[in-house]
Amino acid sequence: MSDLTTFLLGFLVNFVVGLIIVRFIYYPRTKDKRFVFTYLTFSTVIYFVVSLMANITIGIGVGFGLFAIFRIVRYRTEPMPVREMTYLFVLMSLPVMNSSGMLQTAWPQLLIANAVIALVLWLLEKEWGFEYQLPRHVVYEKIELIQPSRQAEMVADLEARTGRKVERVEVGKIDFLKDTADLRVYFAKEDQNGWSVPELEEDTEAS
């Protein structure tokens, strides 16, 4: 097999696996298009950069330097949720792994590794064996309901306002001057009828 054929086959494997992860594992869960362009672009560009650098004997270790460069230049200008950061790391690691496997012509191991990564992500997104809840920060003004003896009333009030089933509530900071309390509310992933509960925007901290 010629070097060009190996190079193109490596790209095809990398792109197809990345596309499967983004289109059929990540996107159906989040319905968020914001990071699709970034994921596939990073995966494609890193594969070509690492492959070409390795071919001119600069060394495969240069590929891992891309992670450091990415951190230094601070590519993102706003906080990225942990889930999206995890997918970004996976899709940045895949081309490094695939370009290394391409050079060593370790095709069986390479295909198995790609398949296992995609399978693990798919299984985790299915949440098999896990009870999934959606924790959200709420500033609550009915401060009289935060008493342990009235917790059931507080939960009923939160469910009536949000239209979501509340699994549990944690009381944080209490401000008696403003008569408010910071709550950490854990919503169930599905409501009582089994319909999927849409995810709210992630909380972010001001920098």
* pLDDT tens figures, 108-126: 899 999 999 999 999 888 8
Q: What is d(CA 46, CA 44) in angstroms, rounded to the nearest whole number?
A: 6
Q: Give Dmax (Cα) for the chain.
A: 75
Calculate what percentage of the chain has a pLDDT beyond 70.
74
Q: What is d(CA 185, CA 166) in angstroms, rounded to the nearest whole number?
A: 7
Q: What is d(CA 13, CA 86) in angstroms, rounded to the nearest whole number?
A: 21
CB contact at 8 A, 99 and 74: no
Question: pLDDT category, 96, cuts 50, 70, 90?
Answer: confident
Write the DSSP assignment of 76-90 as a string of letters: -SS---HHHHHHHHH
**Residue spans per domain, the chain:** 3-125, 133-188
Does the pLDDT at position 180 exceed 70? yes
Tell me which residue has tokens 């959200």: 136
Tell me if the pTM is above 0.75. no
- More confident of the two residues 202 and 95: 95
- More confident of the two residues 201 and 21: 21
